[in-house]
Every structure is written in structure tokens, then in C-alpha cells.
């Protein structure tokens, strides 16, 4: 088993450890976490051609997708951008099987965006229960799905509405001094967690930045290069990654939970954010939107760091991914205040699906790049 590359090794570990992602601790809930893992499986399937990886995706989605295109556990009227993430797998399933139920389910999720509440400038709220708020996380959940739907089923009309989401997010969350993006912004400047003058949350949370750069990598793969905002998204992508590179831990090569406070007591190197950043750099190089000469050394160091810092293999040969922040957010019933103390207080766990999914995607992209480099 040790002869296998990390992406395959991780995918097999997931299949053996969690044959049904939606069971253990999830009780069948329609949760965005599955989509992060299953996007990794889609990459492994694409790279290996082994049908079992596709079947794993299909089995999971078929638990939720009814023959009439309904989605078990999904409620459109919650207007929760997270609920769109799993929909990214529907395009692949529809292409492969031709079954109408997958297109209908995608159309149902798309209909949420037609009525999803927005800020005054047209950015989607993170959720109806989080009004007038842009969270970096939401760009990953919604934008790549929205873009692929428009390209697949709406003749590529309305792409500006997708690119606008990234442009508005950068406009309102970017810190002029570090180039990093704050976790969230409240247009009304009334949330307990925000600065009443700027509307910004107080810290740079690693995974939120990871979600954002992953989203940009996925969107840049699909967005036509002739689109008027293509070069602007490339600029944002490169600038955010450059800002992150300034905070790459010198010793380990990976990133901290609170990105810019590496030496502060209680902070820790965090697996999911580091995996997401590695994925984004590798995919950016593969797509040609990041200069390979300028980024390869950063990537190599970060990828080595991922393996050395976070991965342990069990006696069964399974991959365990350690040091994942289980969850972090702002506001809500828990009164999450976005302080440094808050971010380091959330549980740190092994094999969180968001972390494992991002790690799987990162390994698949790095290995794809390595194979391209080795090609004649």
C-alpha cells in the first residue's frame, strides 16, 4: 500500500473508513462536507479511470436525489449558500448517466439562487439567518456550482453575476496592510462580531481564506478566458495567494489556524486550510494562471509540510489527517465573536470531512502536476 500515491491512498481510506459519509455523526443530513470529499473522488476518478471512485460519488448522491429530482433534507426557503456545494457533483452524474433526475436536482438548487437574498450591490448573503453578510466560505459553496450551471444549462448567460461575487468579496474584506481577507463582512455593520466602522470581522481565519482560493481555482478552470472579468479574477487569486505565502510557516511549510499570528500562544498549524491553499497553488500552476517558476518552490515546501505535519498512517494502511479545526463561524446562537480566543477554542479533530476532502483534492492536483512535468 505504501507504493500508492497519496490521493489514491486517501480515497481508499475514506471508502473503507466511511462507506456512507452521511451516516456517522450526520444522521443523513444534507451537509456541504460531502461535496468537498466527493470533488476529491471526482479528481481521483478522472486521473485513474477506476469506476469504483465514480460509483462512490453516485451512491452518495443517490441517497439524496429522488427520481423526480427532489433532494432529501434540502429546503430552498432556508436560503443557505452551503446547501449548494453538493450540487457540483450533479453535472458529472448527469453527463455520465444521462439521467434526468440529476439535471432536475441541479435546477432545484439553481432556483435557490434566483431568489437568494443579496446585499445592496448584489452579493449573496451567506444565509438568510445571517442577513447582509458576505463570508469567504460562501464563495466556495455557491460560485463554482452557479458558474457550471450557467455554462451547462443556460448557454453561458449571466456569468457576470458569478464573477461579481468574488470582486465584491475582495472589495469589502481585503486588508490593505497584509493583503489577506477577513473572514466576513456585514453590510449593515450591526453584528456583535464586526467592527462598527468597517463591518469587518476581526481576524484572518485560515480555512475561510482556503475556501476562497479553492473557489477561485475552480471558477478559473471553467470561466471562459475571454470573459471581461477573467483577468481580474486571476489578479485577485494571485494576490491573495501571495499574501498567504507571506505567512507560510518557515519551519513546517504549512499555515496556522489564525493565519497572521503564528507565534501567539494557542495558535496551531491547521490541516484543512493548509490543504486548501496547496490545492489552489497546484491547480493555479496547472491552469497556467500562476507562474510555475515563481510558485513551484512554495508548493513543494507546502506539500511536504502537509504530509509531514498532519498525516499519520494506521496499521491498516489508512490515512489519518490530524489537526483539523472542526468548525468555525460568526454569530448565531453560539454568539461566535470572531476573536482570536474564539478561533483557537473550537475543537481540533482528526479526519474532519472538510479537511480530508481538501487534502484529497490537494494530493490529486499535486500528483497531476507531477505527472504533467514528467510527460515527454
Task: For helices 206-222 and 353-374, give the axis angle rounded to 10 degrees.
Answer: 50
- What's the per-residue H, E or C state across the chain? CCCCCHHHHHHHHHHHHCCCCCCCCCCCCCCCHHHHHHHHHHHHHHHHCCHHHHHHHHHHHHHHECCCCCECCCCHHHCEHHHHHHHHHHHHHHHHHCCHHHHHHHHHHHHHHHHCCECCCCCECCECCECCEEEHHHHHHHHHHHHHHHHHHCCCCCCHHHHHHHHHHHHHHECCCCCCECCEEECCCCCCCCCCCCCECCCCEHHHHHHHHHHHHHHHHHCCCCCCCHHHHHHHHHHHHHHHHCCCCCCCCCCECECCCCCCCCCCECHHHHHHHHHHHHHHHHHCCCCHHHHHHHHHHHHHHHHHHHEEECCCCCEEECCEECCCCCECCCCECCCHHHHHHCCEECCCHHHHHHHHHHHHHHHHHHHHHHCC
Catalytic residue among 33, 82, 137, 186: 137
Q: Which residues pair with 71 in a beta bridge?
A: 65
In this structure, are strands 319-321 and 324-325 parallel, antiparallel, or unpaired?
A: unpaired
The Cα-based distances of 355 to 118, 237, 276 in angstroms read: 29, 21, 8
Residue with cell 500552476: 285
Assess whether 293 carries a catalytic annotation.
Answer: no
Which one, of 140, 82, 138, lies nearest residue 109 by Cα? 82
Count, residues in the chain: 376
Question: Is 268:207 a contact under the CB 8 Å cutoff?
Answer: no
Residue with cell 462598527: 196
Take residue 180 and report the three cell numbers written for it.
Answer: 489577506
State the catalytic residues.
137
Amino acid at each position: 500500500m505504501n507504493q500508492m500515491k497519496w490521493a489514491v491512498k486517501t480515497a481508499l481510506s475514506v471508502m473503507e473508513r466511511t462507506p456512507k459519509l452521511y451516516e456517522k455523526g450526520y444522521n443523513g443530513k444534507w451537509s456541504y462536507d460531502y461535496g468537498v470529499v466527493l470533488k476529491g473522488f471526482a479528481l481521483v476518478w478522472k486521473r485513474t479511470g477506476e469506476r469504483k471512485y465514480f460509483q462512490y460519488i453516485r451512491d452518495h448522491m443517490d441517497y439524496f436525489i429522488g427520481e423526480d429530482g427532489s433532494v432529501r433534507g434540502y429546503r430552498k426557503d432556508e436560503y443557505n449558500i452551503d446547501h449548494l456545494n453538493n450540487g457540483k457533483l450533479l453535472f458529472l452524474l448527469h453527463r455520465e448517466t444521462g439521467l434526468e433526475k440529476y439535471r432536475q436536482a441541479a435546477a432545484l438548487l439553481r432556483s435557490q439562487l434566483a431568489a437568494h437574498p443579496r446585499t445592496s450591490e448584489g452579493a449573496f448573503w451567506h444565509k438568510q439567518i445571517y442577513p447582509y453578510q458576505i463570508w469567504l466560505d460562501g464563495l466556495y459553496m455557491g460560485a463554482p456550482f452557479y458558474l457550471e450551471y450557467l455554462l451547462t444549462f443556460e448557454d453561458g448567460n449571466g456569468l457576470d453575476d458569478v464573477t461579481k461575487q468574488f470582486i465584491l468579496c475582495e472589495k469589502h474584506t481585503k486588508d490593505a496592510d497584509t493583503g489577506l481577507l477577513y473572514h466576513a463582512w456585514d453590510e449593515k455593520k450591526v453584528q456583535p462580531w464586526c467592527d462598527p466602522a468597517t463591518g469587518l470581522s476581526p481576524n484572518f481565519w485560515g480555512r475561510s481564506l482556503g475556501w476562497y482560493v479553492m473557489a477561485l481555482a475552480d471558477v478559473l478552470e471553467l470561466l471562459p478566458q475571454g470573459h471581461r472579468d477573467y483577468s481580474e479574477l486571476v489578479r485577485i487569486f494571485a494576490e491573495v495567494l501571495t499574501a498567504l505565502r507571506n505567512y507560510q510557516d518557515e519551519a513546517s511549510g504549512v499555515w496556522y489556524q489564525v493565519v497572521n499570528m503564528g507565534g501567539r500562544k494557542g495558535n496551531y498549524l491547521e490541516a484543512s486550510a493548509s490543504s486548501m491553499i496547496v490545492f489552489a497553488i497546484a491547480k493555479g500552476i496547472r491552469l497556467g494562471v500562476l507562474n510555475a517558476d515563481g510558485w513551484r518552490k512554495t508548493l513543494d515546501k507546502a506539500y511536504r509540510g502537509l504530509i509531514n505535519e498532519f498525516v499519520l498512517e494506521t496499521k491498516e494502511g489508512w490515512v489519518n489527517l490530524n489537526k483539523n479545526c472542526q468548525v468555525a463561524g460568526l454569530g448565531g446562537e453560539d454568539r461566535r465573536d470572531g476573536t482570536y480566543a474564539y478561533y483557537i477554542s473550537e475543537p481540533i479533530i482528526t479526519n474532519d470531512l472538510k479537511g480530508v476532502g481538501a487534502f484529497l483534492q490537494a494530493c490529486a492536483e499535486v500528483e497531476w502536476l507531477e505527472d504533467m512535468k514528467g510527460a515527454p
